[in-house]
Chains A and B, each alone.
Chain A
Amino acid sequence: QIQLVQSGPELKKPGESVKISCKASGYTFTDYAMHWVKQAPGKGLKWMGWINTYTGKPTYADDFKGRFVFSLEASASTANLQISNLKNEDTATYFCAREYNSSFDYWGQGVMVTVSS
């Protein structure tokens, strides 16, 4: 069965960096794009961008250019999200989601990142 399994919760201080992983199984990883979605506590969903899992090319939404990096470990069927110079407003749950025909048909369970001094 298709699964996206994300890494565990993170507690970081402002200015630090964090790297979140999303391991896919049950399908051919490079056949489907991977997207990242942010959900601040009690808030809605915000699309962060996507990565072409075949070429490795990332595309970032405007609000996520600069401190955010999408990467792959294709041999391990894993997509990663790294956030540098963390700010309080980065406190959120981050989801990876597989794209199928422009919809997000499978989602990871989410990773809660807390930024606090």
Chain B
Amino acid sequence: DAKTTQPNSMESNEEEPVHLPCNHSTISGTDYIHWYRQLPSQGPEYVIHGLTSNVNNRMASLAIAEDRKSSTLILHRATLRDAAVYYCILRTPSQGAQKLVFGQGTRLTINP
């Protein structure tokens, strides 16, 4: 999988928007951008994915740069439950079997 770079940690306040950045300058044209999060003492949870266009779902929005070298996960109104480690992962079609390669992620702290 192509490499991603994320800040080690970020902090935000409850009920405010959160923008989590991810750089993936070596992304190929067919790589999908996936985001997962892991709450304390739980397994990872799928959040969202995209290829070229911005994506929205009930959990978050994904904004993808026009050159696809970076993306931003947007939590529109953070709650305390959103405190977790967020992983940005690139998925390569040629790999097969959906292997996910987790980096260190961004630890998000939400202040009440």
Whether chain B is bound by chain A comes out as no
